[in-house]
Amino acid sequence: MTETPKNPFEVMMKQAQEMAQAFNPALESFNPKGFEALWPTMPKDVMEFMFGNAVNKGGLDAKTRLLLTLAGLTMQGAQADTAVRQTVRHAVEAGAKKQEIVETIGHMSVFAGIPAMTRALDLAREAMGGDNEDDEA
């Protein structure tokens, strides 16, 4: 006997899973976290060229743009797990210190609320390897 979903979201997810399995049986074991591995961290030089001063002389550098992106993702409730983790990894690659990432997320608590900040911090910690060591570099 199969368990009946209890709320509309569970019903929708169950229907989507059944539809995906009908289209392609291999999708039964699909995990969306696999998408994260498809997008590696870009080198800092590439980010500067695409998002930083190389295109917009005297404008925001890639690190600042990525911290702003992180702030925006936090404001949205940090619901886009993959986007938050990738933005944190890219910000670190662009030269952001852990303290700057934590401060960016913490500053958003005033506007987005404590739950959004806590979720973003958890995702950031996961993206940075889960340690709590301070980095001075």
Residues 49-68 pLDDT 10s:
776 666 677 778 889 999 99
CB 104 within 8 A of CB 70: yes
CATH entry, 39-127, from 1.20.1290.10, 1.10.760.10, 3.90.180.10, 3.40.950.10: 1.20.1290.10
Query: Is residue 137 very low, low, confident or very high in pLDDT (cuts 50, 70, 90)?
Result: very low
Q: Where are the domains of the chain?
A: 7-31, 39-127
* 2 vs 99 pLDDT, higher one: 99
Closest CA to 102 of 80, 137, 135: 135
Q: What is the pTM of this model?
A: 0.66
User: Residue 122: is its pLDDT beyond 90?
Assistant: yes
Pairwise CA distance, residues 26 & 87, whole Å: 30
Q: Quick: pLDDT tens for 12-52.
A: 877 877 887 787 777 666 666 666 666 677 777 777 777 66
Query: Phi-psi category of 41—alpha, beta or left, where left has phi over 0 and alpha has psi -120 to 50?
Result: beta
- What is the mean pLDDT of the segment spanning 108-114? 92
Query: Is residue 136 very low, low, confident or very high in pLDDT (cuts 50, 70, 90)?
Result: very low
Q: Quick: pLDDT tens for 74-108.
A: 999 988 888 999 999 999 999 999 999 999 999 99
